[in-house]
Chain A
């Protein structure tokens, strides 16, 4: 047993650091450091740079780096710390692995390179107004007519739909069987006639999610992944990957770092907040939770490395559950540091344009919006209650 990364891993970390400082566009680094939002073009350019050596999470044969899970973890951590770019996610992490695991040769050849070089952006069309936690009750219909499906229905909470070129959807292809057995996994060009994307604004004012409507949308049958009516098992594979990646250790570490940085510039009762015993205890408390999460994640990684690809690991639910709680606690800690100064709401345009030197770092203006937004972490990709139901059933056998 050894908690230390191997020499090889440490060398890899150094290599990643060099790679990031040679390849990150300075304006992107600056914007990320200040908490400003990136434009679509910036994200695309940043992603291309970051994936020069291939997609970190993919096998080599599909345009991936072929890195081990530990190397992927190190890469992600360094990207966050630099900061370089928060990855696109939906294409690389969600649909890509589904395509190379369950897709046919033509699909692999067409879609994977376009995801890897950020040509195509993807979004996830799973949830519906009536099918959130009970995802399998989804109603969006796909009816086969010769060489195409006709899709009708509605998706909701679709992240990044307004940026996306493609949407991968769970659709009902057989309404007459047990609900999990009539679902298929379909790839839909979001520019197809009959698709409408309508924005939803979140409580912090951001536009991150949308509603997506399908009205008589024609989708070629070759866009079906795997077999018809087997979509639920592909979705479970995808959700498992999603949750595995949701521990958010990198995000929480970044939040903690910022909280300490700001606390060192904040005076309370004549002393620095960072020197105040009650604050230090709060920080230490959270550090314990974060360290425990990190080691739990590393254990899960070590475990997963031993198993074959595609095996579902209920530990992913533990990581997602605890990860979202720690992320939220770190967002709350930042609120404590920000104190009364959390009150003003500064739109992004103004953040960049004020010319006098700011009293606080510019990213401080994002602390309250980030805290509000952090509440979604225990709702998306399966709410905390649902994760607990899964753990109770799959791990505890209750």
Chain B
């Protein structure tokens, strides 16, 4: 058993934490959020310079061949600063689909653009009725000669407002809720028939709703098997969920530290509020939640590379349950222990709270993943040995 980071992983941790410390304080975040795309283009360039955008891609396309642990390290640091940039959308989601599903030509063309910061991408998986089911796809893709014609509505496209190209899941065969018959299409946002309605998210990020009306997509922009994309989608979603768990752990770490700091400085009744035993116990509860979350995120990160889909999904589901429950537990306590100040826009804690609550709703909340885990037979204890 070994939980230590390798030398390279330690260096990665140091460099990304240093960058965040220098350039991504709470005040910086507010400023970046006010810039035109809703985040900092300058920071995006810094991520490129540091190689963060290259992390999960293989070296032949300019990447660093990092794995889930590397992504975890970066996402945790990002979580501490509540970054606004489209890293999850571009690198983890769209990048993951290209990496796992794209052909040589697509990878050679697009991955270097992601790596050097010149392409922002998004993944349009959700639909008005799909809820958390990635296979619930009503958007149609019809083959017409050398083109595919896409029609339908995609909702909740994370950073779909800034992406130049969007990967869209669409139905090529079968019924609405069948896992077979789903294809992935790389669509240019300027394609005729595509309209976007941008929106702000509850936690200060951006997204878009996308309507497709007979949007023509060249066959060369079909990613992988036109009817067999679901396993790739599901796998990339597991990677994204693991990355989100790590981001949440970054948030939790800060929430715990900020709250603890407050308990040690705020005075009422002539004493530090941290001297009240009832609040001490709450602070301990928060720490327990944080450590449990960190453990489950490590577990997911170590299991998400697993080729056995069932084992992988069990681990990822379990981690998402823990993170979802802890989001509430840590979020509620951290605000409560602050009193009124915790409820304000000007103070950081509420922003962390909103982010972790939204992380809970991405891809599936704790209840959803609990049902999924139970349906998979649960986590059998012998799977850790």
Stretch at the interface among A21-29, A37-45, A300-308, A342-350: A342-350
Query: CB distance A200 to B344 under 8 Å?
Result: yes
Query: CB distance B365 to A133 under 8 Å?
Result: no
Q: Tell me the bound Cα distance from A376 to B207 in angstroms.
A: 28
Query: Would you call B361 an interface residue if the criterion is a C-beta within 8 Å of the partner chain's C-beta atoms?
Result: yes
Q: Tell me the bound Cα distance from A380 to B131 in angstroms.
A: 35
Nearest A residue to B199 by beta-carbon distance?
A344
Query: Would you call A352 an interface residue if the criterion is a C-beta within 8 Å of the partner chain's C-beta atoms?
Result: no
Choose among B156, B201, B357 the residue that contacts A371 (Cβ–Cβ < 8 A). Answer: B357
DSSP class of A's interface residues: helix, strand, loop or mixed? mixed
Query: CB distance B269 to A133 under 8 Å?
Result: yes
Contacts of B201 in A (CB 8 A): 343-345
Query: How many residues of chain A get a CB closer than 8 Å to chain B's CBs?
Result: 48
Q: What's the least CB distance linking A220 to chain B, in Å?
A: 31
**Quick one: which of A337-368 are within 8 Å of B by CB?**
338-346, 359, 368
Question: Interface readout for B97-136 with A: 1 if CB under 8 Å, 0 if not?
Answer: 0000000000000000000000000000010110111000
Contacts of A267 in B (CB 8 A): 129, 131
Query: Would you call A372 an interface residue if the criterion is a C-beta within 8 Å of the partner chain's C-beta atoms?
Result: yes
Q: What's the least CB distance linking A334 to chain B, in Å?
A: 12
Query: Would you call A266 an interface residue if the criterion is a C-beta within 8 Å of the partner chain's C-beta atoms?
Result: yes
If A343-B156, A384-B336 touch, does A205 touch B345 (CB 8 Å cutoff)? Answer: yes
Q: What's the least CB distance linking A223 to chain B, in Å?
A: 27
Q: Tell me the bound Cα distance from A132 to B129 in angstroms.
A: 46
Query: CB distance B362 to A340 under 8 Å?
Result: yes
Query: Would you call A369 an interface residue if the criterion is a C-beta within 8 Å of the partner chain's C-beta atoms?
Result: yes
Query: CB distance A343 to B207 under 8 Å?
Result: yes
Q: What's the least CB distance linking A241 to chain B, in Å?
A: 21
If A203-B353, A371-B357, A383-B339 touch, does A339 touch B131 (CB 8 Å cutoff)? Answer: yes
Contacts of B267 in A (CB 8 A): 130
Query: CB distance A203 to B367 under 8 Å?
Result: no
Sample 16 A-B pairs with CB under 8 A, ordered by A number.
A133-B339, A134-B268, A134-B269, A137-B269, A200-B345, A268-B131, A340-B131, A344-B201, A372-B202, A372-B354, A375-B332, A375-B353, A378-B336, A379-B339, A379-B342, A384-B336
Task: List 16 additional contacts besides A137-B269, A203-B353, A343-B362; criterion CB under 8 Å.
Answer: A133-B339, A156-B340, A202-B344, A203-B350, A203-B354, A266-B131, A267-B129, A332-B328, A341-B155, A344-B202, A344-B207, A345-B200, A345-B201, A368-B357, A376-B343, A383-B336
- Residues of B participating in the A interface, judged by any CB pair closer than 8 Å: 126, 128-129, 131-133, 155-156, 177, 199-202, 207, 267-270, 276, 278-279, 328, 332, 335-336, 339-340, 342-346, 350-351, 353-354, 357-358, 361-362, 365, 367-368, 371
